[in-house]
Amino acid sequence: MAGAVVAVMAYGLFLYLRARSNLVTLDVRNAEVRLVVRDIEWQTWEDIFVHPKVEGKVTLKVRKVPLEEVLRLIGEQTGSRGAAVYPLYTTRATLRQLKETVRAGQTAGERPWKAWQEQPAFRFAGPLGDVLRNENQLISVELMGKDAGAAAQALNRFSHDRVVPEDDTPGMVNLKLAQATLPAAVAQVARQVKRDWTVFYLLSPARFMGRPAFASGPAAGLTPEKKAQFDQQFEASLATLSPEERALAQQRREKMEALRNLPADQRGPAMQQAFQQMMSNPGMQAQMQSALQGRMATAIKDSTPDQRVERTRTIVERRKMFENAASNDSAK
């Protein structure tokens, strides 16, 4: 009996250590994505929510691979994107409310989580943002006198993950980070605003080259509330830039504002012309080509032939959708 007890305790310790390391071992073929995620949750003891619109089969064979990498591989096969969510919360009850919002696939929460969105109104994109996100996932930023919302948006710029403070989080953040991990940064912010924090994971539908109404401009028709949120997120992103990058970002924003204020019949052609000018830049072309080649290599390595055929079909359909949206906007 003593030997059995020791064996059970040893196995329990093994499960605990494996879970805390967030390493995943899987060997599945054409398995439904939610069943695969359930297996991963059992191994890692993490909460992983799958958006209701995420569907598909997963074929995967990995051994002791980090959770974030496994979610990326699953995302490649199911047209989704994995992300870690770091809430700053007051009680377990409010945390549970946020998780229920995420589980239901809602893009905007109610109080005390009105700040929650799957996709922020503004995510600093382009070469500057991509360099930060792709290089090493470490954060170097100086935040002085920022509220929790602005600090969270500044941290969000460094990754595809999300830092989400509960509504009306008090206090100001004064923080100087050099090559810090996101969890370490979140811990320091939480300590300064006197909030608990945790992490859970989400698989949500991946965006494809922006929204279908791209030709109308990503910020066309913003409500005053959304406009204020857009401005707050932009200012938070500026806090992480060098003076040169900040000037470039301001120039881009002014161009977007000018395009947004054009009459509807002029906005579509002007947006298309601006996009063509941007894509004709040699640096942008090189970056896009490198990113495309990387995604193609990953898709070939991490998917089955049937999944690659389905992905190609989806890309063709979405390309037609964007072309039709652009044509319709130009005709108005």
Q: At what angle do helices 182-193 and 148-156 cross, to 10 degrees?
A: 180
Q: Which of the four pLDDT bands, split at 50, 70 and 90, describes residue 219?
A: very low
Is pLDDT of 134 > 50? no
H and E: helices and strands count for the chain: 12, 9
Tokens 């991490």 belong to residue: 302
What is the reported pLDDT for 130? 41
Per-residue pLDDT, 210? 35
CB atoms within 10 A of CB 297: 10
Mean pLDDT of the chain: 77
66 pLDDT higher than 60: yes
At 285, which amino acid appears? Answer: Q
- What's the N-to-C CA distance of the chain in angstroms? 80
For residues 29-41, give the mean pLDDT.
95
Q: Is the pTM of this model over 0.85?
A: no
> What digits encode the pLDDT tens for the residues 224-258?
777 776 777 677 667 666 677 778 878 888 887 78
Instruction: Check pLDDT > 80 for residue 26.
Output: yes
Q: Highest mean pLDDT range out of 149-153, 156-160, 216-220?
A: 149-153
Name the helix (H) or strand (E) containing 173: strand 173-180
- Angle of helix 2-21 versus helix 33-44 axis, rounded to 10: 120
Position 131 scores a pLDDT of 39
Please tell me the number of Cα atoms within 13 Å of 277 on its side-chain side: 8
In one-letter notation, the amino acid at residue 184 is: A
Q: What is the mean pLDDT of residues 53-76?
A: 92
What residues have CB less than 8 Å from 130, skipping those under 6 apart? 287, 291
Q: Where are the beta strands (DSSP E) in the chain?
A: 23-32, 48-50, 57-66, 80-89, 139-146, 162-165, 173-180, 196-197, 200-205
Mean pLDDT value of segment 190-198: 96
Q: How far apart are CA 123 and CA 160, in angstroms?
A: 9
Pull the structure tokens for residue 114.
């009105």
Angle, helices 282-301/126-135, rounded to nearest 10 degrees: 40
Tell me the residue length of the chain: 332
Please report, rounded to a whole number, the percentage of residues in the chain having pLDDT higher than 70. 65
Q: Say how far apart CA 219 and CA 262 lie, in whole Å.
A: 12
Show the 3-state SS of 66-77.
EHHHHHHHHHHH
Angle of CA points 200, 205, 209, to nearest 5°: 125
- Three-state DSSP at 265 gives helix
The CA–CA distances, whole Å, from 2 to 6, 7, 11, 15, 327 equal: 6, 9, 14, 20, 76
Q: What is the mean pLDDT of residues 118-135?
A: 42
pLDDT value of position 123: 45
Average pLDDT over residues 124-138: 46
Task: Calculate mean pLDDT across residues 146-155.
Answer: 88
Helix spans in 261-281 (H): 264-279
Cα–Cα distance, 283 to 106 (Å, whole number): 37
What separation in angstroms does the CA of 320 have from each of 172, 212, 215, 328?
47, 10, 13, 12
CA angle 232, 234, 237 (to 5 degrees): 110
